[in-house]
A and B are shown apart, each in its own frame.
Chain A
Amino acid sequence: MMPLVAAGSTALLHNALLVGAILFALGLVGILTRRNLIVMFLSAELMLQGISVSLVAWSRYHGDFGGHVLVIFVLTVAACEAAVALVFVLQAFARTGRLDAAAWQALREATLPRAVDHALPASDAIPPRWPRLARAGIEPPADDAAALEREHV
């Protein structure tokens, strides 16, 4: 396999670091804003992906395996973190019946005001589009004439 770009290429390093920075910033915004616990964890994983891209880019630039090894450990720790965190999320859901981070605001400091949700419109202005599946298990209408007819010869 021929190398796409020569090792130690500054342009490739620059672009890959930029991608890593964008992924990290997106994950940061996600974990700060979203209130669904699962989406918060997905954002944290997005930040980890940004870090992985940066590490591998530096590893490529220097021509050694240090970054690769670090990314393998990032994967390991991410798996552990996801396992433990999801157990916490499930327990939290069993307690409150919601995946809402704000359901736990009783744990805030005593001096902080209580966060109050503003009134939401009863339904979304833009209703979510769920996938529509065709009904299965229905016998199709049999039409012998159509079955014999062919569109193309």
Chain B
Amino acid sequence: MLPDLSPGVLLAGAVTAAAASLWLLLPRGAESRAARWLGLVLGAVALAGLVAAGRRLGSLGEEGVFLTVALVAVVSGAATIVTRSPVYSAIWFALSLAGVAGVLLVLGAQFLGVATIVVYAGAILVMFLFVLMLAQPSGLASYDRVSNEPLLSAVAGAVLLGLLSLSIGRLSSDASCCAPPTRAAAVVTAAGNAVSPGSRRGLSEDTMKPGAEATGSAQAAAGDAADPLAVDQVARLGGELFGRHLLAVEVAGVLLLAALIGAIAIVARGEAALEDDRRLAAEGSRR
């Protein structure tokens, strides 16, 4: 196993290794095989550090499933930004989406896991690939072989990741101080407070009854809300979406329509402007 390292040191090392690996792997014009291998090794070290910084989930099966999908998401996400060819980049992004969908499924978001695959990988990514086919010059373009400030950007990303992971670690190391209680726990606590005076002796029976009923319904509600993997989860998500958030759904529909019309308008105007440009250029050359 790893030697005893404090979590902060472990995270700092992992994040530094990740930044160095990204810097070595990003397109920089002049590459060498040695730099690429060093980048891959440093990336593996960074991943190992980040895995060690994660919490254990309990059983080996859960751990394995989560680790697999999370590694797929992260590794192919990194490959998305370091691959030179944009087509390969898009395909790596599709694999990253598959990993993210797996993480969402482990988190109990069945609808979102499927929707990520269908909407992102099935629709948005295919649109990206269409544009690439329309607009990609043959072979690698010069701008795919260089990048803007790879060192500074890798450092910026590492600083952001370090700060985020530090705050995440502090947030969940003692949940009682920072994290608010779950809604289900709050409901149960409130119900307990409501019923505890009633359960004392010496109170009349009719004051006890509503309290007992409240406890029952509160526990039912708590059981309902606390189990995100219940059979009717997607149905309840739909109820929430079209009940509490109905107005937002309508606004999202208007946004989609506006984007559709806007895209068509931009194409039409762009064509007209291009024609104008060509005519002006032709007139200029004639003169």
* Residues in A lying within 8 Å of B, measured CB to CB: 1-5, 7-19, 21-30, 32-36, 38-39, 41-43, 45-46, 49, 52-53, 56-57, 59-65, 68-69, 71-73, 75-84, 86-91, 93-95, 97-102, 115, 117-118, 120-121, 124-126, 128
Contacts and interface: CB of A to CB of B under 8 A. Distances in A.
Given A4-B65, A63-B226, 8 more contacts: A8-B226, A12-B66, A23-B96, A27-B77, A53-B100, A80-B258, A91-B267, A126-B33
B127 interface: yes
Interface in B163-195: 164-165, 168-169, 171-172, 175, 179-180, 182-185
B183 A63 contact: yes
Contact of A30 (B55, B81, B179): B81
Contact of B241 (A33, A49, A69, A90): A69
B112 A5 contact: no
Interface string B114-125: 011001100110
A11 B89 contact: no
Interface residues of B, number: 115
B240 A65 contact: yes
B124 A82 contact: yes
A102 B78 CA distance: 23
Given A5-B57, A5-B58, A29 B267 contact: no
Given A12-B107, A17-B168, A53-B104, A65 B115 contact: no
B228 A63 contact: yes
| Chain B CB within 10 Å, residue with most, of A18, A64, A86 | A18
B48 interface: no
B48 to A, nearest CB: 13
Contacts of A97: 137
Q: Is the interface of A mostly helix, strand, loop or mixed?
A: helix
Contact of A22 (B33, B36, B50): B50
A26 B115 CA distance: 23
Interface of B: 22, 26, 29-33, 36, 50, 53-58, 62, 65-66, 70, 73-74, 77-78, 80-81, 84-86, 89-90, 93, 96-97, 100, 103-104, 106-109, 111-112, 115-116, 119-120, 123-124, 127-128, 131-132, 134-137, 139-150, 152-154, 156-158, 160-161, 164-165, 168-169, 171-172, 175, 179-180, 182-185, 225-229, 231, 236-237, 240-241, 244-245, 248, 252, 255-256, 258-260, 262-263, 266-267, 270, 274, 277
B31 A4 contact: no
B221 to A, nearest CB: 11
Contacts of B132: 38
Contacts of B30: 120-121, 125
B120 to A, nearest CB: 7
A23 B139 CA distance: 28
Contact of A80 (B53, B168, B256, B266): B256
Contacts of B89: 36, 38-39, 42
Q: What DSSP secondary structure best describes chain B's contact surface?
A: helix
A1 B233 CA distance: 11
B213 to A, nearest CB: 22
Contacts of B184: 7-8, 63
A46 to B, nearest CB: 5
B142 A117 contact: yes
B263 A83 contact: yes
Contact of B100 (A52, A63, A100, A128): A52
Contacts of A95: 274, 277
Contacts of A69: 237, 240-241, 244-245, 248
Given A38-B90, A65-B236, A79 B124 contact: yes
Contact of A29 (B58, B156, B241, B252): B156
Contacts of A94: 270, 274
A28 B227 contact: no
